[in-house]
Amino acid sequence: MKRPVLFLGVILVVGVSYLLMQTRNLETPQEKVLEKPEEKPLEEIPVRKEEISEVRLTIVYDNNPSDDRLGTDWGFGCIVEVGDRNILFDTGADAETLLANMQTLSIDPQKINIIVLSHIHGDHVGGLFGVLERNSEVKVFLPSSFSQSFKDRVKSFGATVVEVSDPSPITKRVLTTGEMGTLIREQALIVETEKGLVVITGCAHPGVVNMVKKAKKITEQEVYLVMGGFHLSGASDSQLRDIVKDFRALGVQKVAPCHCSGDRCRELFKKEYGSGYIEAGVGKIFDL
Ligand SMILES: [Zn+2]
Ligand SMILES: [Zn+2]
């Protein structure tokens, strides 16, 4: 009886050892797979294309000249290209001028996906219906305080109306500050770029400094550029100097005041910001 027991014992020991070896063999490749990404230096991990997509801003409507080929007129309008989205922020006072400028700049109105209206004034919404006649496959983001008749007219073209009250996303990397101000309700556009935030204002009736502060607060990011109408043509020198100081304190790196900012405002910002000041007018392009 001794021999079969010994034999069984040997079989058992060999069997268990074999199983243990198999388990270890199984574990080894798994550990390697898990370790691999940790070993790889960060620089070698490829950045996805969508994360590095560029942002281009083109002013298509303004009362300040920049490109001789284009018409100037009181008002503001800007095309924002982010990834595969084309946004028209404000539409100027008249569709004819807007569309002619866009044509000269080879911007096809059919390729606009989103329209954002800053506030109800005619020099910002006047060109809208002419654009909708050519392309109604758009979402129109407007302050919810706009009149029902205006909203109904936008819908009558077949466009989608998106009413804005609070700060909210518009598309990837683009947000609105939400409606601000009391008398004239207005929203500003915020674009997240590799360099920092870009804040685009229509007229900045609620105060351009307030709008920049709001953009910073919502996103918790630094501001690279503030561009658009600052609504400071009637401001005194001391008021203007305070605003320039506020911009510095807020860490704004570059400024491009146009439309209703006023000549003196542009002068003082230019003096303070030097190379951080960008002369803006219709046709000006910002690649970010
Ligand atoms: Zn206005
Ligand atoms: Zn205006």
**Nearest ligand to the C-alpha of residue 121?**
1
Strand order, beta sheet including 55-62: 160-164, 139-143, 114-116, 85-91, 76-82, 55-62, 285-287
Alpha-carbon distance 231 to 229, whole Å? Answer: 6
Checking if the pLDDT of 11 tops 60, the result is no
Alpha-carbon distance 253 to 235, whole Å? Answer: 22
Question: What's the CA-to-centroid distance between 50 and ligand 2, angstroms?
Answer: 34
The candidate with the shortest Cα–Cα distance to 251, out of 207, 195, 172, is 195
What six digits make up the tokens of 97?
């001028």
pLDDT tens-digit map of 216-240: 999 999 999 999 999 999 999 999 9
Task: Check residue 51 and report its DSSP letter.
Answer: G
Question: What's the CA-to-centroid distance between 8 and ligand 2, angstroms?
Answer: 95
Residues less than 5 Å from ion ligand 2, measured at CB: 123, 203, 260
**Nearest ligand to the C-alpha of residue 260?**
2
**Nearest ligand to the C-alpha of residue 62?**
2
Question: What's the CA-to-centroid distance between 165 and ligand 1, angstroms?
Answer: 18
Alpha-carbon distance 187 to 193, whole Å? Answer: 19
For the chain, domain boundaries:
2-44, 49-287
What six digits make up the tokens of 6?
């010994």
Higher per-residue confidence, 48 vs 132? 132
Find the helix or strand (DSSP H, E) in which 81 lies.
strand 76-82
Checking if the pLDDT of 49 tops 50, the result is no
The candidate with the shortest Cα–Cα distance to 60, out of 263, 200, 226, 164, is 200
Higher per-residue confidence, 29 vs 105? 105
Q: Give me the pLDDT at residue 15, please.
A: 53
pLDDT tens-digit map of 68-84: 999 999 999 999 999 99
- Tell me the pTM: 0.82
Question: What's the CA-to-centroid distance between 178 and ligand 2, angstroms?
Answer: 18
What six digits make up the tokens of 237?
């020198």
The fraction of the chain above a pLDDT of 70, given in percent, is 82
49-287 topology per CATH: Metallo-beta-lactamase; Chain A (3.60.15)
Q: Give me the pLDDT at residue 18, please.
A: 54
Q: Give me the pLDDT at residue 28, please.
A: 40
Question: What's the CA-to-centroid distance between 21 and ligand 2, angstroms?
Answer: 78
Question: What's the CA-to-centroid distance between 260 and ligand 1, angstroms?
Answer: 8
Q: Give me the pLDDT at residue 182, please.
A: 94
Question: What's the CA-to-centroid distance between 202 and ligand 1, angstroms?
Answer: 7
